[in-house]
Amino acid sequence: MIERARRYAVLGTGAVGGYYGALLQRSGFEVHFLARSDCEHIARYGLAVRSPMGDFVLPKVHVYSEAGTMPRCEVVLVTLKATHNHLLASMLPSVVAQGGTVVLMQNGLGGEAEIFPWAAGAQILGGLPFICVNKTAPGQIHHIDYGLVTLGAFGPDYAPQGQSPVLLQVAEDLQQAGIAVETAADLMLARWRKLVWNIPYNGLSVLLNARTDQLMENPATAALAEQLMAEVKAGARACGRDFPDAFIEKMLDHTRAMQPYRTSMKIDAEQGRPLEVETIYGHPLRIARRAGAQMPRVEMLYRQLQFVDARIRTVGKVATRA
């Protein structure tokens, strides 16, 4: 086993954190996992990954139920659900090593700005995982497909940071662990581009209890998805980020060609988990509004989802609409 220089912390050993963290440890990095509910199980049995790239087991991992007992690490991967980001206020100051790096591995936009005050001077990177992976049981990770991480450096007001040394270093670590990495010189642009897909499909799939194929088969919702994408593009443009209309066409075609897919927000709703409403809708809406853009349809989806989310937080799991 090669000894690597940087220690990694993984905050949140769900599907994404379990998978990427296990790959890092397998390639020789020292990795410390925070697993609040599964800690005892993982301490006893380790982590098991099933993957088309090869199954493997890590019988022994460093695992903690409290961030306060973890050692300081040079790189902290945040793989919590964005709905738990408020917990980072107390976690990050004790986990990040002096001069360290925090990688916020979540969808949406605005999370880096949210956690910035708690990062104790660490550099912040944003990570966008394009991956299909589930946690099937405590410590059991089932990787189904994809796995690319887009990494970009965060700076105040999301000013483009280019290819910073820290960015390249973390990218290299991940690549050495067998993870496909793409670096983005402009994190905000990367996040807006991913929102083009996430904003229409996550929200509509929850509200209409539908898979992506069902949304695209119905001309009314297919047209609505396209309108929502156009609003996201307008929001991005107000922030000085542009991409061609062809990108929207590509996302629509891609979704039409995809296997029937349940979005992550749909799965959260089915499981009675709070929805990532702020990071996917609330923050981007406020960022776009400050930049002068209105996104009326996206805002409407946000309000509808706030209602559903409030109900989930009150009564737990909500029955789905057939």
Footprint of a copy of itself on this chain (CB under 8 A)?
204, 207-210, 215, 218, 220-221, 223-224, 227, 296-297, 300-304, 306-308, 310-311, 315, 317-322
Nearest distance in Å: CB 284, a copy of itself: 16
Q: How far is the CB of 96 from a copy of itself (least distance, A)?
A: 35
Pairing outcome for strands 30-34 and 62-64: parallel
- Cβ of residue 242: shortest distance to a copy of itself, in angstroms? 22
* In contact, 235 and 186? CB cutoff 8 Å: no
Q: Which of 60, 81, 194, 233 is catalytic?
A: 194
Nearer to a copy of itself, 161 or 205 (CB): 205
Cβ proximity of 61 and 25 under 8 Å: yes
CA distance 314 to 269: 13
Residue 80 C-beta: closest distance to a copy of itself, Å:
24
| Minimum distance of a copy of itself from residue 64's CB (angstroms) | 36
Nearer to a copy of itself, 146 or 307 (CB): 307
Placement of tokens 């891609």 in the chain: 254
Any catalytic annotation for residue 194?
yes
Minimum CB distance to a copy of itself smaller for 184 or for 206: 206
Q: What is the β-pairing status of strands 123-137 and 140-153?
A: antiparallel
CB nearer to a copy of itself: pick between 144 and 223: 223
Question: Which among 277, 273, 227, 287 has a CA at the least distance from the CA of 252?
Answer: 227
Count of helices and strands (H, E) across the chain: 13, 10
Tokens representing residue 41 in the block: 């199980």
What does the block give as tokens for 163? 């290819």
First-residue to last-residue Cα distance in the chain: 51
**Phi/psi class of residue 54: alpha, beta or left (left: φ > 0; alpha: ψ in -120 to 50)?**
left
284 within 8 A of 112, measured Cβ to Cβ: no
Least distance from C-beta 257 to a copy of itself, angstroms? 21
Amino acid at 8: Y
- Comparison of 153 and 215: residue with beta carbon closer to a copy of itself: 215
Q: Rounded distance, CA 74 to CA 166, Å?
A: 11
The answer to whether residues 59 and 48 touch, using CB atoms and an 8 Å cutoff, is no
Residues involved in catalysis = 194
